[in-house]
């Protein structure tokens, strides 16, 4: 396979930045060299096949999106991105690995759910992919099966305190699953919202005629996220399980995580771009000529977008700076308006939950560098290095160093990206949740294990090039 030299750029890591050239040999990084170095000491010096000029640009480890839902069955339909379309869109946006959620549905064996997910993904991905396991039915059989997951390269599982009758686990089930997490070292990932209470509030709102998407955000009050986050923390403390709370959106939930972390508990959290930029008022409460108040359905996801007046978005950025939250994933779970989100016209409870963002995460987070919310190094840490450490990929992924996979993004801080359906949009959706967003930067070149998959606005990836990532245990835990 080809050798590539990326010259003249600034290599950015989670801990610093330096002018350096990066030599890629086949699928891996061979050397990180002083600028202009004649490649002394390497036997490939005479035979570099390709030079990428990164002058004035950042050279960063490829993004790792640790929370995606390709083809997730939800609310009587299925998330609209396949592994093929979703990983292609990821590559366009500078993400070179995903960790998707394999699903065990109620009544199903974990092994069968996992096998079905392998079948969906195998041969279809443009970039590397791993799985977490959703455990939707905690029982004696699944508890035994969970213990074997690390051998399959699956070192984390997700439980739901929300969605009664679908993925929901009660406290007894959570406790038992967390004991498996403690024993095996697998990370417990938690959807922390009090589902039974939310369902009562949602029913009452619908009975009162409040059926618009906006009321999705009212029913799923932040108190229900704070309460569930606290309960998850206490169950984790009791069992000794490491805990990772997904899609955190409420500032009060972050306060719970910070409180537990200050006591030395192995508790972590991610947020998503939608909770940093979007709001209950501006998006869930939106209306348009085409859709009226149903416009807000475009942004129905759980946990919901929060009130800007209450300051949640500001608190999420702050938590990313203070490390009360450690990562940013997308929770990519796209649905089209037509025939999918439309299922919930007249009843917000029937709107399939999810937003598509996989293509824009690196750009949206870079804009946080531009606006002074986070540093350049923190950008790399939140989007690549910590995801690699948290989910057992570090060394192979998440870092530019000799021996690591050559997953590399050349990012142009002087470029520009206009997001919109008829502009940058490769996700399989009929709208963009990020329509009109302008980014003061640009993903120029993307390498996935040494192969250039995006080059100057051209897509060169190939379906099936992405390999399954057998992950180890987290190396982030204390
Ligand atoms: O709205 C969301 N988040 N949909 C995906 C499923 C989940 O809970 O992560
Ligand atoms: Zn969730
Ligand atoms: Zn999710
Ligand atoms: Zn550019």
CA–centroid distance, residue 17 to ligand 3 (Å): 32
* 123 has pLDDT over 60: yes
For residue 295 and ligand 1, the question of a CB distance below 6 A is answered with no
What's the whole-number mean pLDDT along residues 35-53?
A: 75
CA–centroid distance, residue 74 to ligand 1 (Å): 9
**CB-count exposure of residue 42 (10 Å: 0-12, 13-18, 19+):** middle
> 324 in a domain, yes or no?
yes
> 140 in a domain, yes or no?
yes
Position 15 scores a pLDDT of 97
Position 43 scores a pLDDT of 56
> 126 in a domain, yes or no?
yes
> 3 in a domain, yes or no?
no
* 109 has pLDDT over 90: yes
> 73 in a domain, yes or no?
yes
Q: What is the Cα–Cα distance from 102 to 431, expressed in whole angstroms?
A: 26
* 44 has pLDDT over 60: no
Whose atoms come closest to the Cα of 94: which ligand?
4
| Predicted confidence (pLDDT) per residue in 357-395, tens digit | 999 999 999 999 999 999 999 999 999 999 999 999 999
Beta strands in 54-208 (DSSP E): 58-61, 63-68, 73-74, 77-78, 95-104, 128-135, 156-160, 187-191
For residue 271 and ligand 1, the question of a CB distance below 6 A is answered with no
For residue 354 and ligand 1, the question of a CB distance below 6 A is answered with yes
- Residue 38's pLDDT band (cuts 50, 70, 90): confident
For residue 158 and ligand 1, the question of a CB distance below 6 A is answered with no
- Tally of CB atoms within 10 A around 116: 16
Position 36 scores a pLDDT of 76
Question: Running DSSP on this structure, what letter comes out for residue 62?
Answer: P
What's the whole-number mean pLDDT along residues 217-242?
A: 98
Position 228 scores a pLDDT of 99
Task: Provide the domain limits for residue 366.
Answer: 67-387
For residue 273 and ligand 1, the question of a CB distance below 6 A is answered with no
**Which stretches within 7-123 are classed as H helix?**
83-92, 110-121
Q: What is the Cα–Cα distance from 432 to 451, expressed in whole angstroms?
A: 29
> 258 in a domain, yes or no?
yes
**Residue 246 CA: which ligand 1 atom is closest?**
9
* 42 has pLDDT over 70: no
Contact indicator for 234, 179 with CB cutoff of 8 Å: no
How far, in Å, are 118, 211, 309, 349, 374 from residue 338 at the CA level? Answer: 28, 18, 31, 17, 37
> 202 in a domain, yes or no?
yes
- 297-284-211 Cα angle (round to 5): 65
| Predicted confidence (pLDDT) per residue in 306-350, tens digit | 999 999 999 999 999 999 999 999 999 999 999 999 999 999 999
pLDDT, mean over the chain? 97
Give φ, ψ of 333 to 5 degrees.
-150, 75
Indicate the number of domains in the chain: 1
**Residue 160 CA: which ligand 1 atom is closest?**
8
> 354 in a domain, yes or no?
yes
CA–centroid distance, residue 246 to ligand 4 (Å): 32
What's the whole-number mean pLDDT along residues 86-105?
A: 98
- Residue 354's pLDDT band (cuts 50, 70, 90): very high
What pTM, to 2 d.p., does this model score? Answer: 0.98
For residue 329 and ligand 1, the question of a CB distance below 6 A is answered with no
CA–centroid distance, residue 61 to ligand 4 (Å): 17
The CATH number of whichever domain residue 269 belongs to comes to 3.20.20.140
121 contacts: CB under 8 Å, gap ≥ 6: 70, 83, 100, 129, 131, 466, 468
CA-proximal residue: ligand 1, atom 3 (nearest):
302
* 46 has pLDDT over 70: no
Q: What is the Cα–Cα distance from 388 to 381, expressed in whole angstroms?
A: 9
């Amino acid at each position: 396979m080809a050798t590539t030299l990326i010259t003249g750029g600034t290599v950015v890591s989670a801990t610093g930045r330096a002018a350096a050239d990066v030599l890629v040999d086949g699928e891996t990084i061979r050397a990180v060299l002083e600028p202009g170095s004649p490649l002394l000491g390497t036997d490939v010096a005479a035979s570099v096949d390709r030079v990428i000029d990164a002058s004035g640009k950042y050279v960063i480890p490829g993004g790792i999106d640790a929370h995606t839902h390709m083809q997730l069955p939800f609310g009587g339909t299925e998330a609209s991105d396949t592994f093929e379309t979703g990983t292609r869109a990821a590559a366009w946006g500078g993400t070179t690995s995903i960790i998707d959620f394999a699903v065990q549905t109620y009544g199903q064996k974990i092994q069968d759910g996992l096998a079905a997910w392998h079948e969906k993904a195998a041969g279809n991905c443009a970039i590397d992919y791993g799985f977490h396991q959703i455990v939707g039915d905690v029982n004696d059989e699944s508890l035994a099966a969970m213990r074997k997951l690390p051998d399959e390269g699956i070192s984390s599982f997700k439980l739901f305190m929300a969605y009664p009758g679908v993925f929901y686990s009660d406290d007894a089930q959570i406790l038992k699953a967390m004991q498996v997490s403690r024993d095996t070292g697998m990370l417990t990932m938690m959807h922390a919202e009090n589902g039974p209470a939310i369902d009562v509030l949602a029913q009452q709102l619908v009975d009162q005629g409040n059926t618009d998407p906006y009321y999705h955000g009212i029913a799923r009050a932040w108190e229900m996220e704070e309460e569930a986050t606290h309960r998850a923390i206490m169950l984790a403390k009791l069992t000794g399980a490491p805990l990772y709370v997904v899609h955190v959106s409420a500032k009060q939930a972050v306060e719970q995580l910070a409180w537990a972390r200050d006591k030395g508990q192995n508790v972590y959290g991610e947020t998503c771009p939608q909770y940093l930029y979007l709001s209950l008022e501006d998006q869930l409460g939106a209306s348009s000529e085409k859709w009226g108040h149903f416009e807000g359905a475009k942004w129905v996801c759980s946990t919901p977008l929060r009130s800007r007046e209450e300051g949640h978005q500001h608190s999420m950025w702050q938590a990313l700076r203070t490390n009360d939250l450690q990562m940013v994933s997308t929770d990519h779970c796209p649905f089209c308006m037509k025939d999918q989100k439309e299922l919930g016209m007249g009843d917000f409870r029937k709107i399939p939950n999810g937003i598509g963002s996989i293509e824009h995460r690196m750009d949206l987070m870079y804009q946080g560098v531009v606006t002074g919310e986070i540093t350049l190094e923190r950008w790399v840490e939140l989007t690549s290095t910590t995801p690699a450490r948290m989910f057992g990929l570090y060394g192979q992924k998440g870092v530019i160093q000799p021996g690591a996979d050559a997953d590399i993004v050349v990012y142009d801080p002087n470029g520009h990206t206009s997001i919109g359906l008829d502009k940058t949009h490769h996700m399989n959706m009929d709208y963009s949740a990020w329509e009109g967003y302008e980014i003061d930067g640009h993903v120029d070149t993307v390498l996935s294990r040494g192969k250039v998959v995006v080059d100057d606005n051209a897509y060169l990836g190939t379906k099936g090039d992405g390999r399954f990532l057998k992950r180890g245990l987290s190396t982030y835990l204390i």
